[in-house]
Amino acid sequence: MKDLTLKSVTKLFSEKRNIIFIPHSSPDADALGSCLALYHFFNQENEVNIISPNEYTEILNFLPGSENILNYETDKEKCENIFNKGNVIFTLDFNSLSRARNLSSLISKSSATTIMIDHHENPNNYADITISNSRMSSTCEMVYDFICSIDKSKIDNKIATCIYTGIVADTGSFRFPSTTSKTLKVGSELINHGVNVTEIFEKLHNNFQFKRLKLLGSAINNFKKIEGLPVVYTSITENDQKVNDFKKGDSEGFVNFGLSVADILCSVLFIEKKDEGLIKISFRSKGDFKVNIFASKYFNGGGHEYASGGISKLSLQETEEKFIIDIKKYIKENYE
Ligand code: 5GP
Ligand code: MN
């Protein structure tokens, strides 16, 4: 943290505050790990609440303190009362208000001091205090640094577990290019706080229902390769979801299987979301192939260089057809 930022943060928390922690919509382990680590850190001397814009995967219910997370979609009145009293808002693991979906107007209207901690590129300028670094592996790694610069001695097993979970989730267990020696050092320090590495892996990756395995089978079966290009894509239809009792988070990680094929540099997953009237798209890539600009140019999205997302309002078939045309054009323009 820069000296000036640290000064404002220290001053801000020199008295008791009413703090709200907000992850991005459909929060993942990094977003919720960040919220919960800070929730535990500030819990003793402040009033603290976590408000998620919507539901999250039940897989993350093992995170200590997760029972306290409020869902704005199902608990509007309570959440709005909390917003009225809040005087500090942390927005975690996102950098554009639209990613807080239905909470974005409450955040922008609030008179609270807003603090962004995030590791995505191109941060928007909505927060009073912006702590943004796209070279960081995860928001959780940044939350670790944030906590250390205020009071490292407060890190306990609960805080360490929340932070470690976010880091391993966002780095693919310390494998992705964003992993640095410092990321591993933070991991090592968290293990010294008694984090149970095996248990966290088991809870994150080996804790699904049988039908999720069948859904994975169908997603893998649906993979198609674009002739002549290092690109594969697959889809999960509304029917696949119905047949396999789809729950939020069930398709997490499916898209990565496309990158297990030799010479494939880009893998894409389309998920039909009839209730939202859109197709949710996940982009993953490696090597020289970067997907964030493609996602923002053609599919109203963005994200990291190697892991991005976007949406399409066309039908699944039309989306796939559009994707094939767009990716051919993008490769021609940028890589040939
Ligand atoms: P996922 O494929 O896991 O949903 O998302 C991968 C990454 O892409 C996320 O960590 C986030 O950075 C980004 N992302 C996903 N969906 C969107 C979106 O709709 N808009 C933007 N700007 N980024 C997204
Ligand atoms: Mn993240």
pTM (two decimals): 0.93
CB 203 within 8 Å of CB 301: no
216 and 151, same structural domain?
no
162 and 18, same structural domain?
yes
Helix or strand or coil: residue 332? helix
In which element (H, E) is residue 56 found?
none
Q: Which of 205, 231, 248 represents a domain boundary (last residue)?
A: 205
171 and 245, same structural domain?
no
317 and 246, same structural domain?
yes
Q: Which of 152, 178, 205 represents a domain boundary (last residue)?
A: 205
Neighbours of 134 (CB within 10 A): 14
Residue 336: the pLDDT is 82
Q: What's the token pair of residue 124?
A: 């928007």
251 and 230, same structural domain?
yes
Residues of the chain under the 50 pLDDT cut: none
CB 115 within 8 Å of CB 9: yes
Distance 209 CA to ligand 1 centre (A): 25
225 and 112, same structural domain?
no
Specify the residue for token string 């009237």.
Answer: 277
Residue 236: the pLDDT is 98
* pLDDT 10s digits, 277-316: 999 999 999 999 999 999 999 999 999 999 999 999 999 9
User: Which residue's CA is the closest to the ligand 1 atom numbered 14?
Assistant: 309
User: Which residue's CA is the closest to the ligand 1 atom numbered 16?
Assistant: 309
Q: What radius of gyration, in Å, describes the C-alpha atoms of the chain?
A: 20
Distance 165 CA to ligand 1 centre (A): 19
The Cα-based distances of 102 to 15, 17, 106 in angstroms read: 30, 24, 8
Residues flanking ion ligand 2, Cβ below 5 Å: 30, 93, 139, 170
d(Cα 316, Cα 67) in Å, to the nearest integer?
36
In which element (H, E) is residue 279 found?
strand 278-285
In which element (H, E) is residue 224 found?
strand 224-225
Residue 234: the pLDDT is 98
Distance 27 CA to ligand 2 centre (A): 9
CB 37 within 8 Å of CB 161: no
Q: Which of 176, 205, 234 represents a domain boundary (last residue)?
A: 205
215 and 201, same structural domain?
no
CATH at 252? 3.10.310.30
Residue 2: the pLDDT is 85
214 and 118, same structural domain?
no
Residue 138: the pLDDT is 98
Residue 78: the pLDDT is 98
CATH at 96? 3.90.1640.10
Query: How many domains, in total, are found in the chain?
Result: 2
Q: Which domain holds residue 297?
A: 210-335
Residue 228: the pLDDT is 95
174 and 108, same structural domain?
yes
Q: What's the token pair of residue 178?
A: 């964003």
226 and 200, same structural domain?
no
190 and 142, same structural domain?
yes
d(Cα 62, Cα 186) in Å, to the nearest integer?
21
Distance 156 CA to ligand 1 centre (A): 31
For residue 328, give the amino acid letter.
Answer: K
272 and 134, same structural domain?
no
* pLDDT 10s digits, 144-194: 999 999 999 999 999 999 999 999 999 999 999 999 999 999 999 999 999
Residue 4: the pLDDT is 87
Residue 1: the pLDDT is 82
> Which residues have any ligand 1 atom within 6 Å of their CB?
120, 282, 301-304, 307-311
Q: What's the token pair of residue 327?
A: 């990716």
- How confident is the prediction for the chain on average, in pLDDT? 97
